[in-house]
Each structure stands twice: as structure tokens, then as C-alpha cells.
Amino acid sequence: MEYSKEHLYPIILAGGVGTRLWPLSRTRAPKQLHSFFGPSTLLEQAYKNLRRGFPRRAVHVSTNATSAAAVRALLPQLPAQNLIIEPVRRNTAAALGLAAAVLLDRDPDAMLVTVNSDAWIGNPDAFLKAIEFAARIIKERKDHTVLVGISPTYPETGYGYIEMGLPVVKYGNLEAFTVKSFTEKPSLSRAKQYLSSWRYLWNPTVITVRADHLLSLYRMHLPKVSQGLERIAKALHSRNAAATVRRAFQALPSISFDYGIAEKLENNVLVIPAEFGWADVGSYRTVHEILSGRTRKNVARGKCVSIDAENNLILPERNKLVALIGVKNLVMVETQDAILLCHKERSQEVKKIVEMLQKKGMTQYL
């Protein structure tokens, strides 16, 4: 199976807000710009992981206009043309479509692989091997889309799932299967069923596909988005490119790639089960699990003393001493202007606080 990285471009998707990680994650300082697991931010770590297997010219970042300056500051080594800026937030379908249009304009044989900036990856080398296998498949099957899936370790209701079908192609210790179905954020009972079956995988949205084939899927499944992307593609080298792209992008409907395209794929889509210590850093429960090694010990930033306390995540402002007595499963996050207290098992609901603040007009906290 012939393979070359010459036309493969990783796209780090870094335009989200991360409402479940409020109050750390804000509109102007979203979660990918924060460091949860060491000195590097999530975005910096995603870039470092990819640079282990790709040259600097290949790695791209897709973000929005609000975060663009912060991304440039964090990644000064990123070539200027490799930062793809969404004029406004229009969800992942528009963001990925814009990236595909830009790459296809630069390279008619471009393949792209999507990497979320908020994903934690414990084994980057295994992650890169899965991407390499996906690209090998696309080299031979230009009309295919190849996903990477993760075997679930617990019944997570906040993730999407992929159901595997029949095995199709094998390379080394990796194998690609047909995709039978997609399920987005199942109920707890269904997630438990998925956990007991080898056929179901978590969907980390690691997608490898040719740019031209991806845009053909937009024409098929999201025609309104496709029409806007075609206007953008024609304007890329025009005299008023920036203004034209901004107007066309603002007119695009806001829809997720998973809902708009991925879940509608019925043919020519494969999935590679892989293990590389993945987690979607989408809630404080996940932050605690990674930092605690999936134990029930307390995790605290700075100084913490405790009596009869366990399974707590404590993130105070400016290294304050925190004392715990008789509390369990607690999340405490403090910033300069806000404090969050919640049960760890309900940390997915933090986004409801953000929605409440929006309704109450308390935008200074967003």
C-alpha cells in the first residue's frame, strides 16, 4: 500500500468556546487556550503532537477572528498562511468546509485530517500511526472518508458513538471496518449497552478525506453551505477577497459537521479502531479523571488540605489554600470574577449556567 505525507494536511480545529468548562473557558479565552495538564495549553499540545509526525508547512489551525491573535501568540512558529480564520462562528461544518476550500485552492490533491484542539492524547505516536493508516487508505480509495474510533472505557453519554460493520483492510496491527451507524450522545442505558459490545467506538471526530471529495459531500448533504463555500473559493484571489469571504461566511447556516454530514454518510466510510489514550476535554469530570489517573483521589492546583474528602477537583485562583472537610465528588473552580461549585457527575450541565447568564444579560461573565 503506497503512502506519502506530501499531500496530507492536519487541521487543528480551534474555534470552539467550551461552555462546559466555564468559568475558566470564556468567549475571549476558550478552553483550548488554557493549560489543564501542565505548562502547555491544549492548543500547544495538539500542535506538538502533530509536529512529531508532520513538517511545519503541513500543520494548519482553523480558528475564529476573536481567538486568532491569541493563537498566533501561542504558536509563533505556525506559518501565517496556515492559520485559517473564520470571520464569525458558524459551527464545525462551516469551519471545516472553509479549510477544505482553502487547501484545495493550494493543492488539488490535498487530503486533510481533522484534529480537535481540546482532545487529550496520551500516546501521540499511536495517534499518528492511526492517521497514517487512514491516509494510506485514502490514497487508494479517493472517494472514501476514514474515521478513527476509540474503544469506550466507561458509559459516557456526552460523546458520539460509531457502530462498526465488517472488516475491510488491514495494515500492521490496525484494521479498518465499514461504518453501520452513528449515535450522538446516547442515554445512559444505551451507553452501557455500547460499552458491553466490541462493535461500538467513541467518535473523536478524527476525519481523513480528500478535500475535493469532502466538498462533494457538502454539495450532496449541505447544499446551502456548499453554495457559500463555492463563492468563497472563487473570491480567494480577488481584489476584495477578505470582504467577500466575510460576507459569504456570515451567510452560512450554523450546523455541526457531525450532524450535517458525518451522520448522513452511508457509503464509502470506514473507521479504524485505535488506542492512544484519548479523552475529549469537555467537562471538569474529564479533567479530574485525567489528572487523577481515573482514581478517586483529590486533585488540587496549589495548596490543599483535607479531612475525610475524596474525588474532588479544586482549581482556585492564584494559589490560594483550600481546606476540605467531608466533601466528595466536588468541583470547585475559581477565577477573578466567578466561582463554580458543582457535583462532579453533573459537570456536563455547566453549559446550562452559561445559557442562564446569556438569558439574564450577564454577558460580562461570558
* Residue 212 and residue 319 in one domain: no
Of the pLDDT bands very low, low, confident and very high (cuts 50, 70, 90), residue 110 is very high
Of 56-60, 234-238, 311-315, least confident by mean pLDDT is 234-238
Give the domain-ending residue among 265, 282, 299: 282
| pLDDT tens digits along 83-106 | 999 999 899 999 999 999 999 999
Residue 1 forms part of a structural domain: no
| pLDDT tens digits along 294-316 | 899 999 998 999 999 999 999 99
* Residue 349 and residue 305 in one domain: yes
- Beta pairing class for 313-315 and 330-334: parallel
* Residue 193 and residue 70 in one domain: yes
Say whether pLDDT at 190 is over 70: yes
Whole domain around residue 273: which residue ranges? 8-282
CATH value at residue 211: 3.90.550.10
Compute the mean pLDDT over every residue in the chain, rounded to the nearest whole number. Answer: 94
pLDDT at 241: 86
The Cα–Cα gap between 234 and 65 comes to 21
* Residue 207 and residue 344 in one domain: no
Say whether pLDDT at 12 is over 60: yes
Chain centroid, CA 61 distance in Å: 12
Say whether pLDDT at 42 is over 50: yes
pLDDT at 295: 94
Section 338-358 average pLDDT: 95
| pLDDT tens digits along 128-170 | 999 999 999 999 999 999 999 999 988 888 889 999 999 999 9
Domain count, the chain: 2
Give the domain-ending residue among 224, 259, 282: 282
Give the domain-ending residue among 263, 282, 301: 282
Tell the residue number behind the cell numbers 470574577, with chain if given.
Answer: 337
* Residue 175 and residue 318 in one domain: no
The Cα–Cα gap between 141 and 145 comes to 9
Radius of gyration of the chain (CA): 21
* Residue 211 and residue 160 in one domain: yes
pLDDT at 156: 86
